Amino acid sequence: MITQQKEKANEASLTDGQNRRSDIDWLRVGVVFMLFPYHTARVFETLEPFYIKNSETSEPCNWFIIIASPWSMPLLFFLAGAASWYALSFRTAGRYFQERLQRLLLPFLVALLLVVPPQAYFARLTRHTFSGNIIDFYPVYFQSYSLTKADYDGTIFTFAHLWFVFFLFIFSLMALPLFAFLKSEKGRGLISGLAGSMAGPVIFGLVPGLLLAASVAPDFLGKPALVYLVLFVVGFAFQGDERFRQVLNRSGYLTLALGLACSPVALLLFQYRQENGFPPGKLGFGLAYNLGSWFLLCAVLAFGSRYLNFSNPILKYVNRAAYPVYILHQTVIVMVAYFVVTWDLNVLLKYLVVLGFSIAISLGLYELVISRVGLFKVLFGMKAGKRTT
């Protein structure tokens, strides 16, 4: 009981306006809400399959996907690792594990049964591979699955966008012993040693090397799981010494330039790989893509630390809403797009309609249902306490 009271007191001191890393919060909610235009663009781009596709495509949507993909989800894993550092500052390892069960595993399982199937259902309807109501669709949907690839046409059962929540839960459990060590005196000494004169080489050499090595590992659920695990651990470790943040802040324009320089190279090598299917296109693409991804991520962190280190009521509201909205957003986009793609409008108007309605519906469900009902708050990974304004 005393330990729990101490943890609550520490949590209060670390989450007040003076001590909380507001830049981390801004960046996290920024990426989550950027997924609305990102996944809406999936309806209109030509790069990859998606549950719903408009008959007329859009080259700007292609470029938006190309620009946002390398750094957006990697940034979320880095920030999740950073948040774990602060969480373990006022939680024991046991409480951290318990919180991961409540905040990640429970919402994942609930959403896997209630939120994900409608995406596949509407995909099958639009492809005329299923007819009937969604209740009839459930036994059909769960008949086949794959753990090696992502599926966006509804033919097999997958985790859809919940792969991020699943990975984060698994990573949290896998990394917990390492995190506990890094929070110890010896672990902090190790981080401090790396951050001394080595902060620059770590950022510009060691981490990109680790990411490149991790990129050759087989994908899981169609995603580079080991790459994301490395970013999760690096995000945690970088919070252990302020010198990492200082080097990142000084290198914002440099890392931005490096990231932008790598992006067109990665795109050209990606096209080469698609046409030939063998090295050096594959190896070259992996090098250019992971370097570009890391340096763009570093640039976002640098400018976020410089310009977003403040809080206001808007941040407090969207920070609470971000996780439930993440769980809902893609299903809402798919459902709205299913109807809108049949309308007689140009691509831009369709895009804006899908985007606007998806944001409004997702925030409306959060505001009017999830945030006001204790059971829904728990099922969507929120605390069950009274609603605050």
> In this predicted structure, what is the pLDDT of residue 141?
85
| Tokens 């009521």 sit on residue | 313
Environment class of residue 348 by beta-carbon count within 10 Å: exposed (0-12), middle (13-18) or buried (19+)? exposed
Render pLDDT for 296-307 as a digit per residue (tens, 0 to 9). 999 999 999 999
| Residues whose CB is less than 8 angstroms from the CB of residue 110 and which lie 6 or more positions away in sequence, other chains included | 379, 380
Render pLDDT for 208-266 as a digit per residue (tens, 0 to 9). 999 988 988 888 888 889 999 999 999 999 999 999 999 999 999 999 999 888 877 77
Contact 71, 259 (CB under 8 A): yes
Q: 273 pLDDT band (50/70/90 cuts)?
A: low
| Residues whose CB is less than 8 angstroms from the CB of residue 148 and which lie 6 or more positions away in sequence, other chains included | 218, 219, 220, 221, 222
% residues pLDDT > 90 (the chain): 65
> In this predicted structure, what is the pLDDT of residue 329?
97
Amino acid identity for residue 200 in this structure? G
Q: 13 pLDDT band (50/70/90 cuts)?
A: very low
Contact 295, 259 (CB under 8 A): yes
The two three-digit tokens of residue 330, written as one number: 């893609």
Which of 94, 144, 154 has its CA nearest to residue 119?
A: 154
> In this predicted structure, what is the pLDDT of residue 381?
92
Bridge partners of residue 335, in order along the sequence: none
| Residues whose CB is less than 8 angstroms from the CB of residue 96 and which lie 6 or more positions away in sequence, other chains included | 84, 87, 88, 172, 176
% residues pLDDT > 70 (the chain): 87
Q: What is the mean pLDDT of residues 159-163?
A: 93
pLDDT for residue 289 is more than 50:
yes
pLDDT for residue 269 is more than 50:
yes
Q: 4 pLDDT band (50/70/90 cuts)?
A: very low
> In this predicted structure, what is the pLDDT of residue 1?
43
> In this predicted structure, what is the pLDDT of residue 215?
86
Handedness of CA 373, 376, 380, 383 (dihedral sign): positive
Which of 294, 183, 295 has its CA nearest to residue 241?
A: 183
pLDDT for residue 332 is more than 70:
yes
> In this predicted structure, what is the pLDDT of residue 144?
76
| Tokens 């390892």 sit on residue | 93
Element (DSSP H or E) covering residue 62: helix 59-68
* Spacing of C-alpha 381 from chain mean position: 15
Render pLDDT for 74-111 as a digit per residue (tens, 0 to 9). 999 999 999 999 999 888 999 999 999 999 999 999 99
Cα–Cα distances in angstroms (integers) from residue 223 to residues 80, 121, 267, 327, 367, in the given order: 17, 23, 18, 18, 32
> Looking at per-residue confidence, does 289 or 322 come out higher?
322
pLDDT for residue 380 is more than 70:
yes
End-to-end CA distance of the chain: 29
> In this predicted structure, what is the pLDDT of residue 274?
58
* Mean pLDDT value across the chain: 87
Q: Around Cβ 170, how many Cβ atoms within 10 Å?
A: 16
